[in-house]
Amino acid sequence: MDVREMLGLWWTVPGAAALVGYVYSLAGLTRPQRAVWVTARVVEVHRPAHGDSKSPGIPVTVAFQDPSTGREFRLRHAGRNGHVVAAAWVGQEFPVRYPRRRPERFHLMLDTKGEERGLGGPNCMLLLLLVGLVVQAFVVRGWPHGLICLGGLLLLVGAFSRDRQHARARAALLEESVAVPGRVVAVTKDVYTDGEGDEIVNHAPVVAFTTHEGIQVTALCREGIARPGPSLGRDLTIHYAPADPAVFTPDLDHDRRERAAAVRFTVTLLLAGIASVALGVALLYDLLPVT
């Protein structure tokens, strides 16, 4: 098998997998579509212990009713299946899905975009397909076609990037932010090892604050707190969005800089895509000398 055949296999396999996934979704046969979807309510918030990992997020106990039996279940959730609760309070509601007659295998869905139809897997395969086509364009068709395809992929990723949408939505919510006193009640600790074998320690404070409406919020604060390692017991001013207390920050200026960085990244993708397409077209039509 030569290089071209291997590249063809690279993009045809994800393409076939994506096609099968989309067909299953149209037929209503994906796992999320066959699952039971209900709304769960947080009935208990468990504060992470000082020094624990931040990976489970804020553990919560949720209650929901199985529509087929009418039985209510109270089950604990702590970062299962990658769905991490970053901010929690009693009475908070989340969508939940689980296999029929198996409520103990519930998934707390923090982001349902594409998940209700089971499009997460096919969309990932589609992205792999596009990457494979770009690589094949470089190898088989040459640099001009490869640059045009690469630029198209960058434009596609930039246009559908959720970073800019998230930044705008967060900015709109924090425009009406309210300041309340908060306190660091625990500091999580995670130790990683880099490529050279050196240990990297990451700390993320857990903050507690009460909204003007009397909602007691416990949240993981990954950004905005200087020197997070020794911050246990530190008093803070928390700025939260009245429409959604899960949107908060201890430092409005830091939050603005982070949102601006997300927007700049998306704009950079779009500009890089335009430049790549323009360069590819110029090379293709001999508008630039090829050395």
Q: How confident is the model at residue 8 (pLDDT cuts 50, 70, 90)?
A: low
Q: What is the 3-state secondary structure (H, E, C) of 180-248?
A: EEEEEEEEEEEEEECCCCCEEEEEEEEEEEECCCCCEEEEECCCCCCCCCCCCCCEEEEEEECCEEEEE
Query: How far is Cα of residue 247 from the mean position of the Cα atoms in its chain?
Result: 15
| Inside any domain, residue 105 | no
Of the listed ranges 63-72, 82-91, 237-246, 280-289, the least confidently predicted one is 280-289
- pLDDT recorded at residue 250: 96
**In terms of domains, do 218 and 164 share one?**
no
Cα end-to-end distance, the chain, whole Å: 31
**In terms of domains, do 185 and 237 share one?**
yes
**In terms of domains, do 186 and 289 share one?**
no
Of the listed ranges 75-84, 104-113, 147-156, 281-290, the least confidently predicted one is 281-290
**In terms of domains, do 247 and 268 share one?**
no
Q: Give every CB contact of residue 156 below 8 A, 6+ residues apart in sequence.
A: 130, 273
Residue 153, amino acid? L
Closest CA to 58 of 41, 68, 70, 45: 45
- pLDDT recorded at residue 272: 96
For residue 152, what are the domain limits? 147-176+260-291
| Residues 58-73: tens digit of each pLDDT | 999 999 999 988 999 9
| Inside any domain, residue 45 | no
How many residues appear in the chain? Answer: 291
**In terms of domains, do 171 and 264 share one?**
yes
Q: How confident is the model at residue 3 (pLDDT cuts 50, 70, 90)?
A: low
**In terms of domains, do 274 and 290 share one?**
yes
Which DSSP letter does residue 38 get?
Answer: E
**In terms of domains, do 158 and 222 share one?**
no
**In terms of domains, do 187 and 235 share one?**
yes
**In terms of domains, do 184 and 244 share one?**
yes
Tell me the torsion sign for CA atoms 116, 217, 161, 159: positive
**In terms of domains, do 248 and 286 share one?**
no
Which H or E run contains 124?
helix 120-136
| Inside any domain, residue 230 | yes
pTM of the model: 0.85
Domain count, the chain: 2
| Residues 24-55: tens digit of each pLDDT | 888 888 888 889 999 999 999 999 999 999 98
**In terms of domains, do 245 and 198 share one?**
yes
| Inside any domain, residue 56 | no
